């Protein structure tokens, strides 16, 4: 401001003041332009860096998502394989159950047939006279006798008594005689 006041008195000084003011304005404009360009370049560099970082994060995210999808796909395939095995086992079990039901029905029918035959045989057995019981003879039983107690000292054994003794233990004497020789 002091230059403007002084420039009213001196024309050459006024021209110099205007030139200095214009030069200062040009330098301020030039400095602003340079700073603006530097800011623009730094903003562009930051934008490029941010986009590169975002691309890297996106790439990592996509890789993780692919891994997760791959894991889910493997688990799904394993579950489907397990499900198909269980389905096959279920089919086999159902077939076996059906076979067992058929066998059970066949056994029921066979059991009913055998029960009817058994009842028929029992009725025939009950209806026949007991002629078989009449043909059975009662056999005499052997009596075990002590050979030393049959006779007293004064008695001698008779043929009948010896035969009775042999009936009581027939083979014992023969075995004793065979071993004695």
The model's pLDDT over 41-57, given as tens digits with 9 standing for 90+, comes to: 999 999 999 999 999 99
Place of tokens 């009213």: 8
Q: What is the pLDDT of residue 167?
A: 63
Domain membership of residue 167 (yes or no) is no
Residue 25 lies in a domain: yes
E strands present in 11-59: none
136-164 burial by CB neighbour count: b if 16+ within 10 A, else e?
A: eeeeeeeeeeeeeeeeeeeeeeeeeeeeb
Q: Is residue 70 in a domain?
A: yes
For residue 147, pLDDT beyond 90 = no
Domain count, the chain: 1
Contacting residues for 142 by C-beta, under 8 A, at least 6 apart = 167, 168
Query: 1-5, 8-12, 52-56, 85-89: which has the minimum mean pLDDT?
Result: 1-5
Any domain includes 41: yes
Least confident of 2-6, 25-29, 83-87: 2-6
Tokens coding 62: 């996509």
In a domain, 23, yes or no: yes
Mean pLDDT on 84-109 = 93
Q: How many Å apart are CA 118 and CA 174, to the nearest integer? A: 50
Helix orientation angle between 159-168 and 170-180, rounded to the nearest 10 degrees: 90
117 three-state secondary structure: helix
Q: Collapsing DSSP states into helix, strand and coil, what is residue 79?
A: helix
Q: Does 30 reside within a domain?
A: yes
Q: What mean pLDDT comes out for the span 67-82? A: 96
DSSP 58-101: HHHHHHHHHHHHHHHHHHHHHHHHHHHHHHHHHHHHHHHHHHHH
Give a yes or no: residue 39 inside a domain.
yes
On whether residue 5 sits in a domain, the answer given is no
Expressed as residue numbers, the domain containing 48 is: 11-114
């Amino acid at each position: 401001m002091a230059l403007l006041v002084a420039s009213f008195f001196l024309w050459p000084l006024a021209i110099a003041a205007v030139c200095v003011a214009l030069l200062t304005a040009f330098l301020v404009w030039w400095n602003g332009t340079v700073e603006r360009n530097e800011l623009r370049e730094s903003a562009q560099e930051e934008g490029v860096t941010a986009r590169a970082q975002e691309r890297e994060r996106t790439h990592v995210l996509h890789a993780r998502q692919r891994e997760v999808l791959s894991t889910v796909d493997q688990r799904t395939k394993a579950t489907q394989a397990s499900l198909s095995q269980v389905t096959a086992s279920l089919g086999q079990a159902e077939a076996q159950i059906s076979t067992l039901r058929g066998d059970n029905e066949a056994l029921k029918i066979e059991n009913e047939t055998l029960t009817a035959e058994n009842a028929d045989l029992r009725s025939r057995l009950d209806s026949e006279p007991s002629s078989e019981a009449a043909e059975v003879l009662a056999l005499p039983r052997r009596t075990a006798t002590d050979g030393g107690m049959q006779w007293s000292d004064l008695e001698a054994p008779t043929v009948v008594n010896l035969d009775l003794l042999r009936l009581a233990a027939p083979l014992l004497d023969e075995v004793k005689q065979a071993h004695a020789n």
